[in-house]
Structure 1
Amino acid sequence: MTTTPVPDPVSDPVPVVVVDDHAMFRSGVRAELAASGAGQVEVLAEAEDVDSAVRAISTHRPRVVLLDVHLPGGGGVEVMRRAQGASPETRYLALSVSDAAEDVIGTIRGGARGYVTKTITGPELVSAVRRVADGDAVFSPRLAGFVLDAFAGSIEVAQVDEDLDRLTEREREVMRLIARGYAYKEVAKELFISIKTVETHMSSVLRKLQLSSRHELTRWASDRRLL
């Protein structure tokens, strides 16, 4: 079986595939990696959903995949599961707007070597990619605590919250940001969607959860350790 060459820690660029369902965000990541990591990271391809991600990984066999957690067609864990046979040596670094415990822990258990949020700077992202390529595990500081708590048994990840399960992946993203106090305009900017779309998702969230206000939503999310 042919294997992907391991990049030299200093000189060889790390081959990367960027997986995210927002074209503007993928372009931004590509630009940041080019500006901050010239000669250190090479973006081979981009993908927007599970199927296109699996195809790109199977075709290019990248050393690292920058992987969003929530994707059309099944999410980042499904990408890792389906691509494992075609490119077993590829490593995955989750890059997500979500820093919720269940997303972090579920993604790591699904096979990712690290998890960072989209507030990361370009140089930090280049460093994280290089470290994952070299076999390190990379986490934002707060997220590392979630993983330690999970394996210590203080977070019960297996328990599925029936209320949360009613929400779509996009509704969960909107819900978490609103619950943290983001304005609709800020949510729209963060998720690359319109303010009207944010309002629509928020109405759906409140209806499905049988809540009547942002204050109730914040309390609901806090009780479930989603903030």
Structure 2
Amino acid sequence: MTQHAQPRTTRIVLVDDHHLFRSGVRAELTALADSAPYRLDIVGEAERVESAAEVVLAQRPDVVLLDVHLPGGNGHGGADVIRATTGATTEAGRPVRFLALSVSDAAEDVIAVIRAGARGYVTKTISAEDLLTAIGRVADGDAVFSPRLAGFVLDAFGAAAGEVAEIDEELDRLSAREREVMRLIARGYQYKEVAKELFISVKTVETHVSSVLRKLQLSSRHELTAWAMGRRLL
């Protein structure tokens, strides 16, 4: 009998100081669960900086949906949560990723939370379907922004924005699985260890590495490791 691969489970923590909003997001995402390309598991909620940091460190979710304006901390809201949980990883060893979800579309809010380490920023006008997609992309390591907010980030980071765009273009050439392989290699894993971590064969790891070398026009594992580390694929 053929065994089909099980869809991944994406574990989510909701952080917002309005209980009614958290309930609404939970209900909307749960209603879409059957049609989602991945399994959803909302593993925790919080309404202020301190409790959010505690939940993130305890639950180690894949993605934190994070409002930028929260009580507590040092008065910097969502940015304080990100800083308080620096280095947090999922059970699989991947970084916990943050997606800002806020009513605010002010440039200073966007820039502050991205500088702190969020992988994306979307406003609360987003549809439930688009939010579901954004969560999946952030879990895979992509950066996601509501269209008009991307310009704030490009302007704020000046010349470095061109480098970010180039890096994103290179990353876009890689599949989600290739990126997972690169992250582990950047962390010093050997091919056998990568295979064990991702439940694939060593041959498949070698195939992914060869594909990435070809796509990025690199010639050795040393160059590949340097490339991955330079893009902080940790």
TM-score strictly above 0.5:
yes
Which residue does the alignment assign to 2:79? Answer: 77
1:41 CA drift (Å): 2.1
State the partner residue of 1:47. Answer: 46
The one of 27, 44, 47 equivalent to 2:23 is 27
Partner of 1:97: 103
1:47, CA displacement in angstroms? Answer: 0.4
What secondary structure is seen at the aligned counterpart in 2 of 1:142? Answer: helix
**What runs of 5+ residues in structure 1 fail to find an aligned partner?**
1-8, 154-227
| Counterparts in 2 of 1:10 and 1:70: CA distance versus 1, 3 Å | farther
CA contact (8 A) 1:37 1:123 kept: no
Deviations 1:122-180 (A, max 9, x none): 11111000000001000000000111111227xxxxxxxxxxxxxxxxxxxxxxxxxxx
Aligned partners of 1:145, 1:54: CA distance in 2, in Å? 29
Separation (CA, whole Å) in 2 of partners of 1:123 and 1:112:
21
Aligned residues: 145
Picking from 129, 132, 141, the partner of 2:135 is 129
Contact 2:87 2:95 in 1 (8 A): no
* TM-aligned CA distance change 1:124 to 1:10, over 3 Å: farther
Cα distance in 2 for residues equivalent to 1:10 and 1:135: 20
**Aligned AA for 1:22?**
H
CA distance in 2, matches of 1:10, 1:93: 25
Deviation at 1:10, TM superposition (A): 7.8
Q: 1:19 and 1:106 mapped to 2: Cα distance? A: 17
Counterpart secondary structure, 2:157: helix
Gaps of 5+ in 2: 160-234
Partner of 1:16: 12
TM-score (norm 1): 0.61
- Matched residues in 2 for 1:91 and 1:24: separation? 24
Residues 37 and 145 from structure 1, CA distance in 2 versus in 1: closer, same or farther, beyond 3 angstroms?
farther
The Cα RMSD (Å) is 1.7
> Could you tell me whether the CA contact under 8 Å between 1:18 and 1:47 is conserved in 2?
yes
The correspondence of residues 173-192 of structure 1 with structure 2, limited to 5 A, is none
Asked if structure 1 preserves the Cα contact closer than 8 Å seen for 2:88 and 2:96, the reply is no
Offset, 1:86 = 4.2
Overall identity of the aligned pairs, in %: 61
CA distance in 1 between partners of 2:57 and 2:145 (Å): 26
Amino acid at match of 2:33: G
